[in-house]
Amino acid sequence: MSQSLNQIRSRVRNRIRDAVIRRHKRSGYVLFSDTTLRDGEQMPGATLEPDEKVRIALALEEAGVHSLDAGFPASSQADVVAIQKMTQVVKRPVLTALCRTVRADVDAAEFALAGNPVHKKGVSLFCGTSPLHRQHKLQKSRSEVLRIITDSISYAAEKFKIIAFSPEDASRTEPDFLCECYRHAIDAGATAIGFPDTVGVLTPEKSADAIRLIQDNVPNLESVLLAVHFHNDLGLAVANTLAAVAAGANVVQCTVNGIGERAGNASLEEVAMALHVNRDQYGRRFRVDLSRLFPLCRLVEDLTGVSLPRMKPVGGENIFATEAGIHQDGLIKNRDTYLPFYPETVGADGLQFVLGRHSGRRAVAHRLQALGHVCSEAELDAVVGLIKQQPKGVVIDDDRLLQLIAGDHA
């Protein structure tokens, strides 16, 4: 009796879940799945303590990401602890745990995620499917791989309602076999399928083709979400992600600052800003709070110790700084002249007019005025001249500027 009640409950939950997936697909929203705490942390030197992971998870929750790839429980006890801690405090995003297509990994994920309700936890299973992986890594035939996929996903479906399956090295897997893997995974109970470009070899055109291939050849696709995961070995992870979105992907998997295996993953802040700035082109809505991005980039930089290049798009120190006279003049007249988006849009402090050899009169006058110093045209010419003569490495901060205007040239 209680068995059949449980079965009825489970069927109802599955129907609700399927309806949610279908509604989401119709809405056209792009969901952000963050893997900073898993693929990002996998990067040598980016190791995070459980409490640091929780801080990043909370910041990602504030930023509005849909799900967090929270760690790989079977790979380390620290990941188990971190996930358990996250289940205590992270409430809105779905927390998922990475698993090989192995029952024991699913058990480890179940244990780590025990604190979360069924609709806020899931597993993300992966299995190498390319000829290289089958032959050299797994030593398994195609049919053995299919059996492993079916077995592990069926097992996961006894414990989880949210199950993603990714054929590792999907971009180098034979198209017919790739689609067969997806078909088996969906039949066994997967609710999302991932397309990982594991070694980052694709171009935007090939990425879009891959999405279309899946759409055309996986008949049961309408009941699952299609997620993409691009690595950045050719510097194309963001471009490939955008191409996949344009072709109809539902979920983008990214990391903050683009950290991750080798050259990293698609950067969350870049994908979000590209979709925002080009919303006329993509026409896809998403729920990331853009004003959280800059602080998020800084937090991940601080906690991982992986420092950002100054000119890193969106999060870099140089993004709202300029020394060039023509740019400074234009920005003073109208910020749109030399900005693709405003500092406050991404939660950064503001424009930074660096004074140096390339600066012009207008920026110097502007700075002096902000310091309450009104000067004549002749004084302005003189101080601009002095600034241009400063040796390499001299920083013209406010104190130095006032010294120069006061005639202290030492």
Which residues are near Zn ion by CB under 5 A?
39
Q: Which of 196, 204, 264, 325 binds ligand KIV (CB under 6 A)?
A: 196
240 binds ligand KIV (CB under 6 A): no
Q: Residue 195 binds which entry of ligand KIV, Zn ion, none, with Cβ cut-offs from 5 to 8 Å by kind?
A: none
Measured distance CA(310)–CA(318) in Å, rounded: 5
Residue closer to ligand KIV, measured from CB, 108 or 348: 108
Partner from Zn ion, ligand KIV, none binding residue 166, C-beta < 5-8 Å depending on class: ligand KIV
Q: Which of residues 75-134 bind ligand KIV (CB under 6 A)?
A: 126
Minimum distance from residue 39 beta carbon to Zn ion (Å): 4
Q: Please tell me the distance from the alpha carbon of residue 41 to that of residue 194, in angstroms, as a whole number.
A: 20
> If phi over 0 gives left and psi between -120 and 50 gives alpha, with beta otherwise, what is residue 314?
left
**Distance, CA of 406 to CA of 158 (rounded, Å):** 77
196 or 315: CB nearest ligand KIV: 196
Alpha carbon distance 33, 225 (integer Å): 12
Least distance (Å) between residue 46 CB and Zn ion: 13
**Nearest residue (CB) to Zn ion, 39 versus 269:** 39
Answer for which of 36, 96, 152, 166 binds ligand KIV (CB under 6 A) is: 166
Q: Is 367 a residue that touches ligand KIV (CB under 6 A)?
A: no
- Separation CA 29–CA 23 (nearest Å): 10
Contact 221, 178 (CB under 8 A): no
- Quick count: other Cβ atoms within 10 Å of Cβ 36? 33
198 binds ligand KIV (CB under 6 A): yes
Nearer to ligand KIV, 105 or 270 (CB): 105
Task: Report in angstroms the alpha-carbon separations of 189 from 13, 46, 74, 76, 192.
Answer: 13, 34, 22, 27, 9
Q: 335 and 352 in contact (C-beta within 8 Å)? A: no
Residue 310 and residue 318 in contact, taking contact as beta carbons nearer than 8 Å:
yes
The distance of closest approach from Cβ of residue 122 to ligand KIV in the complex, given in angstroms and rounded to an integer, is: 14
* 237 Cβ contact partners less than 8 Å away, ≥ 6 residues apart: 197, 200, 230, 231, 258, 263, 264, 265, 266, 267
Number of residues that bind ligand KIV (CB under 6 A): 8
The nearer residue to ligand KIV, 258 or 325, going by C-beta atoms, is 258
CB of 199 to ligand KIV, least distance (A): 8
272: its two tokens? 């979000």
Name the residue nearer to Zn ion (CB basis): 168 or 328.
168
Nearer to ligand KIV by Cβ, of 126 and 294: the residue is 126
CB of 346 to ligand KIV, least distance (A): 26
Does 168 participate in binding ligand KIV (rule CB under 6 A)?
yes
Distance of alpha carbon 23 from alpha carbon 17, whole angstroms: 10
Binding site for ligand KIV (CB under 6 A): 39, 126, 166, 168, 196, 198, 229, 231
